[in-house]
Amino acid sequence: MQVSEAFEFTHEDRKSIYQYVEDADDPVAATEVRDALGLDPSGFRHHLAILKRDGLVHESAGMVEAAFEGSDAADEETFEREGVEYTIRPAIETDRSGLVGVIRQVAGEKTYTVAESVADVVDHEEALVRENAVRSRMFFVATVGDEVVGWIHLDAPELEKLSHTAELTLGVLEEYQDHGIGGRLLDRGLAWAEENAYEKIYNSIPSTNEDAIAFLEAHGGEVEATREDHYKIGDEYIDEVMVALEP
């Protein structure tokens, strides 16, 4: 499956541009793409700008290339514990539906409100992974066979005053817990954060999710703040606990 098949493009011309660039073995001239597709210059530049904004393509010196080529084997790590073999790797666009399903299932089981909002964003935006002047977003997934069973997500606004911080969400399907998957995902996410010069990573969790708080504390996290009655679930008010980790 090509990466473009996993996107839900909001405009056919934008989809055609991406598919043309994706099919090219090497960077291709923007003018070649425009002329081959018969697009008017202003419309082409608009759609190309949107694709660049969403982190789907890169452009340099008039040459365009797709930003996502799939997961490199060098980026994959495979582990085995108690008879379960799993792989930790960067997420790619073809993981989208499985990733959203896992996030929603974990969020529903554990009252993980921030993760619910992440699932909504991933479900509706064209780009799963994003890196531009406004925001950086990275996912790593845990897979068993071809199925996504866990994830870690790091989201960082490119605001100067917050550029040293990122927010994370993390989860593993209940039937695959107690195999070290969560710890491996956290290690991978924190390594990425360190490589990208983030100094502090936050996770905001309802106080009722005691397992998640204990997990993060066991891996070096510290509770930095509590917001009383931040969530209202049904008729019950629940505190939010902010846990911080340093890469």
Domain architecture of the chain: domains with CATH? 10-66 (1.10.10.10), 73-245 (3.40.630.30)
- pLDDT for 199-241, tens place per residue? 999 999 999 989 999 999 999 999 999 999 988 878 899 999 9
- pLDDT for 82-106, tens place per residue? 999 999 998 887 888 899 899 989 8
SS (H, E, C) the chain: CCHHHHCCCCCHHHHHHHHHHHHCCCCEEHHHHHHHHCCCHHHHHHHHHHHHHCCCEEEECCEEEECCCCCCHHHCEEEEECCEEEEEEECCHHHHHHHHHHHHHHHHHHCCHHHHHHHHHHHHCCCCCEECCCEEEEEEEEEECCEEEEEEEEEEECCHHHCCEEEEEEEECHHHCCCCHHHHHHHHHHHHHHHCCCCEEEEEEECCCHHHHHHHHHCCCEEEEEEEEEEEECCEEEEEEEEEECC
Instruction: Judge whether residue 111 has pLDDT over 80.
Output: no
Instruction: Judge whether residue 151 has pLDDT over 90.
Output: yes
pTM over the 0.75 mark: no
